[in-house]
Structure 1
Amino acid sequence: MAEKKYLMVASLQLGRTYSCYAFSTRHEFKEDPLKIHVNPVWKTNQYMSMSTPTCLLLNKDKEFVAFGYEAENEYAEVILDGETDDYYFMKSFTTLLHNNKDVTDDMIIKDVTGKTLPASEVFRLSIKYLVSHLIQTLDKRGEGVGHEDLKWVLTIPSSWTETAKHIMKLSAEKAGIQSDHLVMVPESASAYIYYQTLRSQDNKQKQQDGAEYMVVNLGGFAADITVIKRQNDKLIESYHTTDNSCGSTFVNKQFFHIFDEISGESVMKNLKENDPLFYLDIEREFEAVKRSIDSEMQRKISLSIPIVALDKIQKFTECLRKIKHLKYLNGNIAVGLLGKVFRAQLDMLIAATEHEERMADEQKGINSKRCRESR
């Protein structure tokens, strides 16, 4: 049977920190393989993002309420109303599948308050939301593409076990994606293919057989480091590891550690528990600032903190004295000081990359020796 010629390929990513999707039509791909459309921007009060947080909100009947930024906003209201017992709020739940050899088909996920749900159901509802959001986007664009015309790609980390892949595949199918329309692709392979396509267009160079490339995927919770080799028109993953100390969420932790030093840990904890909307505003404000920073920046960084949130801090007067002493006055943070927030993770990332490069070279030497001995 001839392979079906799909009108469009859509890719979904249910990431550890953020989720998103992208798509490409057949006719545009023929003209330009890099003509790729991404999801419409998700908006917050602070910035616009091409991805949305991987978090899911369900009601007490385990029915879908919201996903992403909307789920964060609505759950903050739930906390204020004292109704957390009537809702399930899951955040960064795919983390359970990473480097976990104990993954089972019937594994459960705990929400932020400890209530449990089947992992497969959490994955199903999340994928269903992304699929629905994409179909609505296509309808607004007037694409007129149905499920039968779509090839779905679900990108996954190389660290997942076969059981983890199986759970996600079944969840996608239960979310409405036909099995024969679905393919699962490692994130590292996707990045490699994109880079090689871009490289061949820019330089018109033919990809060298046997060449190895290190793909470093800087995610929210970890850095996935993979060495990929192209051999006989096939991609071979010759080495992979995950460093859990280099994710962007650790940069955020460093930032809030500064806030704890300024106001006291108990003050920020109180704000998070009793005024979650304001705490969420501070989190998102820092995320916006973080995304605007580049290596050439020399000016001070402006960080807006909601006045109401400041009023809620009981030690506000003492905080101002500390802020002045630490040169945080007027919400301006020196780039050099903010650099300290990133420095620890950058140092660990560089060390991890250099270590894995040595390990890959050692593995290559071992394989070469075995090859010679087998002759």
Structure 2
Amino acid sequence: MPFGTFFWGAGRGGKSGGIPWRSADRSFTSRTEGRPVLVALARKLGSWFLPPHSTQNASIPICNKLVTYSTPIFLLLRGVSAFRHELVCAPMAPRIVVAVDFGTTRSAWAYKVGDDEPDDKTDDKIFVRIPGGVGPAPSARTKTETAALINRRGRGELVAFGQAALERHAENTATAGGDPSDASEALFKWYKTTLFKPKPGENTVERVTATSTSGDVVPLLGVMTATLRYFKKDAVGFLSSLTGRTIRARDVNWVLTVPAVYDDFAKHFMRQAAHEAGMIDKVGSTNLRLCLEPEAACLAVIPRGANNPLTCEAEGKKMMIVDCGGGTVDITTHNIVTIDPLNVVEVAAPTGGAWGSTQVDEAFKKWLQRFLGDWYDKIAKTEILLSIMEFWERKKAAFDGHESAEPVRLNLSALGQRQMMDSHDLEDLRTRYNRGESRRNRVEGKGYMVILPTTLVTSFFTPTLDSIARCLRGIKGGSALRNLHRVFVVGGFSRCPLLMQVVRAELQNASCRVVEVSEPDIAIVRGAVKYFDESAVFNSRRARLTYGASVLHAFDEKNAEHRRRRDAGETLKYDDRDEVMVDGCFFPHIRIGENVPTNGVTSRENYTPVSLENETNCIQVYASSARDPAFVDEDSCFMLGKISFPLDMTKKTRQERAYRVEFTFGGPELTVKILHRTEEKQIADAVMTLSRVPKSYDGISGGLWQS
């Protein structure tokens, strides 16, 4: 009920037995009966809001009583009316959407202020920003390096980000005599890759680590949180200046991009970091949406209106997004249901791998290590290696692989700093290296210049490009890609001519065109802004895995596996039940490959406690790469997380203590909720904690009985 209706009733022209009340060109009607009030409070409220021209001795009838301007009830009503007017007429905070593209190698954020007009068919209200305020929003067309400089002392605050972090780190290292491990701040780069390639034992949010360029090993959650807190402060500060009012994190609708190949644990990790950074007040807040990077790209490359590259002939056909970033290559395929409005259905689970541009950098670094020999160890943790890698980054971006092209000239003058190496040492290295190489891969040059032949540089790209080609070839051979109409290639790595040659060779034909996207670096962050309002474009997705819970089933004498487990002592007998139970059974809620709607509950099943002795329950949520796993300890199964919650012990029977387990894919994230069976209300204490365990089976499943 609106505030004014509650207090004043009928409103403009209403007939409620009272009198019209004019206040700031708004009419209200009083239904209020005069009652004893605190006179002092009433007079105070009235004195605040009473107009200067009011006649203090005037009187009007309210509820058949004369009430003067000095009557306490009049003063109270007058004050509340004005207060209500202040609430209604105060300017509302503009609606703000901020998307953060926190990439493996480069990052940016974008924003939109205000709602789109119904007939607005452009994306002109979306502006891209470089973290740290580098340049005005309209000119931001590239992203900055994902480099975080973290204070080694205190609470580990982020002191600089992006290019500023690299420059400050170089200054700190020089001040510390060339050894960055002696500096007060540590530089972290490429730390997001840890979520895609976890180390052994890093199976919980707290255990995942990040390693600095100088070898510091710290919790990744701290580095991620510090980075997202930096983005939050940068966005909130800029938007406050832009709008002329104080913008807080809770005033913003946030979107955070994630690779499509991230597993459920990695997605949860990013949401947890956003919560720790203060973007959202609770982990499950709907003020933050995770957006798959290829889906964000889809919204960017297929804009509304005249700029839409798809025509009506595309309906019923398929399109592919190939997102080639620094850390990963993500590939999604959708069937185009309608063009205007755009509506698509995922026809295959996303695929891809760790084949981003950083893999090319790693190949170059391995060559450099082989070329320099023992000298490499002397520069491995210094700013010298960083400067060489930055120089290589510029050369890599312009390399097209043509044999007729100029060879890559690598300036290694940084090796001459602090008299570590002179030009004669480098000449000796060239000679020694060339002895073991074929003529095509031999290097040339004089002084500190090393000239790399085209064939050698191409070899740095070959393993990564071959992996991408094999993946595309495998997809192309499946039925999901029949009738493929368009392929859109986005991401910073897509600027690489060699990569585009591979994609065209594998996918382009008479009926399918590979499209190079303009400004591919920022396509994802622009599309992510749109995702907050246009996520319904993606009608459904394919389940990546089979999801379910570990439950107890009644023993079946006819089941050979049940008999084996009984003989191995893996069955249970409860005093208040006649049945023998088999533990660790996999009860599926969603099966791999199934069409999962994105706009509602996917699966809801009833459960009852297996014993009246249980005061709490612990649900173990499992996933499997198999379609129909029978037990959670099969090789294909692994545990995603646990949900512990209290049971209602005031209920006398197991059936009365029953509850519902709800699996939902409201977006790209899996949400598991525990509901009261009769009230359809979520049990407040039932929050899932995720883990990343390749295989886990530790006996009792917590006493679950699927009914």
Q: Comparing both structures, which one devotes a greater share of its residues to strand? A: 2
- Asked whether the equivalents of residues 214 and 225 of structure 1 are also in contact (C-alpha less than 8 Å), the reply is yes
- Asked whether the equivalents of residues 55 and 93 of structure 1 are also in contact (C-alpha less than 8 Å), the reply is no
User: What percent identity do the matched residue pairs reach?
Assistant: 18
- 1:100-115 mapped onto 2 (5 Å cutoff): 103-112=203-212, 113=215, 115=217
- 1:22-37 mapped onto 2 (5 Å cutoff): 22-26=110-114, 30=120, 32-33=122-123, 36-37=126-127
- State yes or no: 1:95 paired with 2:196: no
Aligned to 1:130: 231
- 1:1-375 mapped onto 2 (5 Å cutoff): 7-26=95-114, 30=120, 32-33=122-123, 36-40=126-130, 50-64=143-157, 65-75=159-169, 77-78=172-173, 80=178, 83-84=181-182, 89-98=187-196, 103-112=203-212, 113=215, 115-117=217-219, 119-138=220-239, 142-144=242-244, 146-147=247-248, 150-178=252-280, 179-197=285-303, 201-203=307-309, 205-206=311-312, 208-231=314-337, 233=343, 235-236=345-346, 238-244=348-354, 246-262=355-371, 264-273=372-381, 276-294=382-400, 298-301=404-407, 303=409, 305=411, 307-310=413-416, 312-313=420-421, 315-321=425-431, 326-329=443-446, 330-359=449-478, 361=480
- Asked whether the equivalents of residues 285 and 303 of structure 1 are also in contact (C-alpha less than 8 Å), the reply is no
- Asked whether the equivalents of residues 196 and 207 of structure 1 are also in contact (C-alpha less than 8 Å), the reply is no
- Asked whether the equivalents of residues 20 and 51 of structure 1 are also in contact (C-alpha less than 8 Å), the reply is yes
- Asked whether the equivalents of residues 6 and 151 of structure 1 are also in contact (C-alpha less than 8 Å), the reply is no
- Asked whether the equivalents of residues 108 and 131 of structure 2 are also in contact (C-alpha less than 8 Å), the reply is no
Deviations 1:109-168 (A, max 9, x none): 243335332x4332221101122233445467x454724653221111222333432332
- Asked whether the equivalents of residues 11 and 21 of structure 1 are also in contact (C-alpha less than 8 Å), the reply is yes
Q: Comparing both structures, which one devotes a greater share of its residues to helix? A: 1
Aligned to 2:38: none
Displacement of 1:282 in angstroms is 0.8
Q: Distance in 2 between matches of 1:190 and 1:87?
A: 35
The TM-score normalised by the length of structure 1 is 0.76
Displacement of 1:323 in angstroms is 8.4
Counterpart residue type for residue 197 of structure 1: P
- Asked whether the equivalents of residues 352 and 471 of structure 2 are also in contact (C-alpha less than 8 Å), the reply is no
Q: Is the alpha carbon distance of 1:202 and 1:290 closer, same or farther for their aligned partners in structure 2, counting shifts above 3 Å? A: same
Q: Distance in 2 between matches of 1:185 and 1:242?
A: 17
Q: Counterpart of 2:104 in 1: which secondary structure? A: coil
Counterpart residue type for residue 312 of structure 1: M
Displacement of 1:174 in angstroms is 3.0
- Asked whether the equivalents of residues 12 and 155 of structure 1 are also in contact (C-alpha less than 8 Å), the reply is yes
Displacement of 1:300 in angstroms is 1.8
Q: Distance in 1 between matches of 2:452 and 2:407?
A: 5
Counterpart residue type for residue 50 of structure 1: K
Displacement of 1:218 in angstroms is 1.5
Counterpart residue type for residue 457 of structure 2: L
Which structure has more relative contact order (CA 8 Å, sep 6+)? It is 1
Q: Counterpart of 2:444 in 1: which secondary structure? A: coil
Deviates more, 1:7-16 or 1:198-207: 198-207
- Asked whether the equivalents of residues 109 and 131 of structure 2 are also in contact (C-alpha less than 8 Å), the reply is no
Counterpart residue type for residue 190 of structure 2: S
- Asked whether the equivalents of residues 302 and 332 of structure 1 are also in contact (C-alpha less than 8 Å), the reply is yes
Displacement of 1:104 in angstroms is 2.8
Counterpart residue type for residue 351 of structure 1: R
Where do 5+ consecutive residues of structure 1 fail to align? none
Displacement of 1:189 in angstroms is 0.8
Q: Distance in 1 between matches of 2:311 and 2:108?
A: 31
Which has the larger Rg? 2
Q: Is the alpha carbon distance of 1:75 and 1:151 closer, same or farther for their aligned partners in structure 2, counting shifts above 3 Å? A: same
- Asked whether the equivalents of residues 318 and 481 of structure 2 are also in contact (C-alpha less than 8 Å), the reply is no
Counterpart residue type for residue 189 of structure 1: E
- Asked whether the equivalents of residues 180 and 383 of structure 2 are also in contact (C-alpha less than 8 Å), the reply is no
Deviates more, 1:313-322 or 1:153-162: 313-322
Deviations 1:27-85 (A, max 9, x none): 78836216643223888xxxx95221244423222331333344444445357356459
Q: Is the alpha carbon distance of 1:344 and 1:11 closer, same or farther for their aligned partners in structure 2, counting shifts above 3 Å? A: same
Displacement of 1:248 in angstroms is 1.0
Q: How many residues align?
A: 355
Q: Counterpart of 1:66 in 2: which secondary structure? A: strand
Where do 5+ consecutive residues of structure 2 fail to align? 2-91, 135-140, 435-441, 484-590, 596-707
